[in-house]
Amino acid sequence: MSESQSAAELMFPGCLFQPSEMEVEAQVHLYGHTAEVTGLFVCKPYSVLISVSRDGTCILWDLNRLCYVQSLTGHKSPVTAVSASETTGDIATVCDSVGGGSDLRLWTVNGDLIGHVHCREIICSVAFSNQTEGVSVNVIAGGLENGVVRLWSTWDLKPVREITFPKSSKPIISLTYSCDGHHLYTANSEGTVMAWCRRDQQRMKLPMFYSFLSSYAAG
């Protein structure tokens, strides 16, 4: 796509990584989407940025060279959510389903479609668990419009279980696993953030929070 065409663009300001100063040195424009960009995900172990758009496109960008890598094709409707596994590089995309609800697709980091599954409810957000491969079976967590979190196996996309919170049925608009994978954090549309863990871990220590900005605290 030429720069003269109407297109949504991604911008990468290059800066000295000091939040208190933030001196912009240069800027890179990435072109590929023709409509609103609905989601971004950085998979640092595989050095890729994934962007999705309402035009049905999903693009992988090289974080080192800041250039186009490839597109994940086959979405027939707006792509609304994206995530990637930091252990395998597999990618999960969510798009609207023609008959209602959402379609969840699982891809390899090389762009091959592993499988897909239909969800009757709208999937508002997705995240991968991050346990060591070969020791545990990782899951894709999907935050649904009815306040439920559904877990699918990354092996075959079969439902594993559902997590419900009886006091709220608001959409789960964001979710992520802790660094150690022991806790799942969810946020719903009314501003409530919850931390979930296995029943046998409820007496364990509280979740550990990692602050990557601690060294930049104002003094």
pLDDT at 196: 84
Q: Which amino acid is at 84?
A: A
First to last CA, the chain: 47
The answer to whether position 33 is within a domain reads no
Give the pLDDT confidence of 172-197 residue by residue, as tens digits.
Answer: 999 999 888 788 999 999 998 888 88
Strand 79-84 relative to strand 91-96: parallel, antiparallel, unpaired?
antiparallel
Q: Give the residue from 119, 151, 149, 150 showing the smallest Cα distance to 138.
A: 151
Q: What does each C-alpha distance from 118 to 3, 98, 104, 123, 191 come to in angstroms?
A: 36, 11, 6, 10, 28
Q: What does each C-alpha distance from 139 to 12, 108, 125, 164, 179 come to in angstroms?
A: 31, 15, 14, 17, 15
pLDDT value at 39 more than 90: yes
H or E element in which residue 114 lies: strand 113-119
The answer to whether position 20 is within a domain reads no
Exposure class string for 36-50: b at 16+ Cβ within 10 A, else e: ebbbebebeebebbb
The answer to whether position 34 is within a domain reads no
The answer to whether position 175 is within a domain reads yes
Structural contact between residues 177 and 184, judged by C-beta atoms closer than 8 angstroms:
yes
| Burial of 146 from C-beta contacts in 10 A (0-12 / 13-18 / 19+) | middle
* C-alpha–C-alpha distance, residues 68 and 190, integer Å: 37
Structure-model confidence comparison of residues 208 and 36, the more confident one: 36
- CATH number, residue 62: 2.130.10.10
* C-alpha–C-alpha distance, residues 185 and 197, integer Å: 9
The answer to whether position 70 is within a domain reads yes
Structural contact between residues 163 and 155, judged by C-beta atoms closer than 8 angstroms:
no
* C-alpha–C-alpha distance, residues 159 and 10, integer Å: 34
Per-residue pLDDT averaged across 84-106, rounded? Answer: 96
The answer to whether position 173 is within a domain reads yes
Please state the pTM of the whole predicted model.
0.81
Give the lowest-confidence range in 40-49, 52-61, 156-165, 192-201: 192-201
Give the pLDDT confidence of 109-157 residue by residue, as tens digits.
Answer: 999 999 999 999 999 999 999 887 777 789 999 999 999 999 999 999 9
Domain span including residue 89: 39-204
The answer to whether position 85 is within a domain reads yes
pLDDT value at 204 more than 80: no
Averaged pLDDT of the chain: 84
Per-residue pLDDT averaged across 25-51, rounded? Answer: 91
pLDDT value at 65 more than 50: yes
Per-residue pLDDT averaged across 27-48, rounded? Answer: 93
pLDDT value at 207 more than 80: no
pLDDT at 168: 82
The answer to whether position 83 is within a domain reads yes
- Residues 6 or more apart whose CB falls under 8 angstroms from that of 34 comprise 1, 5, 6, 7, 8, 53, 55, 57
pLDDT value at 203 more than 60: no
Number of domains in the chain: 1
